[in-house]
Homo-oligomer: A and B are copies of this chain.
Amino acid sequence: MRNSDATKAKLLDAARDVIRTKGYAAATVDDICAEAGVSKGSFFHHFASKEQLGIGAIAAFNQMAATVFSTAPYAAEHDPRDRVLGYVDFRASLLAMAIPEFTCLLGTTVQEIYTTHPDLRIACDEGMSAHVAGLTRDLDAAKKIYAPDADWSPESIGYFMQSVLQGAFIFAKAKQSAAVAEDSLSHLRRYLEMLLPKT
């Protein structure tokens, strides 16, 4: 990696970590530069503004998440129902990490900037929707096998799954514990099992 690329990558990682720890507005350029060990001059060589860095950090986060979820063991399951339930179990296993590490950069950011930073909001929406689209593919395949006549749409379940996760992250933050989030993922799994009955 060229030096300049390494600096950019450090800033993107630092933005992710500082924003997930204290929120978007509270994360100053100075905070992010200090976390990255990079000068402010160097920051502005790479990014025109904190918002541009935020958009870059979201793109990098999406790419990281796409790799993590596409290479997780559950993604190789043959039965799409196993992939859907395996996704929930995999998410539950991630709750063992520290709170800033398992929570979502996009959900945290859009919570506060949805009226003030339209470009950042769109980046959050596109990233979250692309993740839902991946789930929707598995849900659609599972529905064809296990619930072909059901009246629910696979996409609406994909968004429901993400809503449960985003809400569970909020309770993990409020309680400084992942226990409520674990219980909520268990309920999500139970609902999915009911929607996709094995026979």
Q: Which residues of A contact B (CB under 8 A)?
A: 21-26, 99-100, 106-108, 110-116, 121, 124-125, 128-129, 152-153, 156-157, 159-160, 162-168, 170-171, 173-176, 180-181, 183-184, 186-188, 190-191, 194
Contacts and interface: CB of A to CB of B under 8 A. Distances in A.
Contacts of A23: 23-25, 111-113, 116
A113 B187 CA distance: 27
Contacts of A114: 99, 173-174, 176
Nearest to A155: B183
Contacts of A186: 156
Shortest 10 CB-CB distances between A and B: which pairs?
Answer: A23-B112, A163-B167, A167-B167, A166-B167, A114-B173, A25-B25, A25-B26, A125-B174, A156-B183, A160-B187
Contacts of A106: 174
A152 to B, nearest CB: 7
A178 to B, nearest CB: 12
A58 to B, nearest CB: 12
Given A22-B116, A25-B23, A164 B170 contact: no
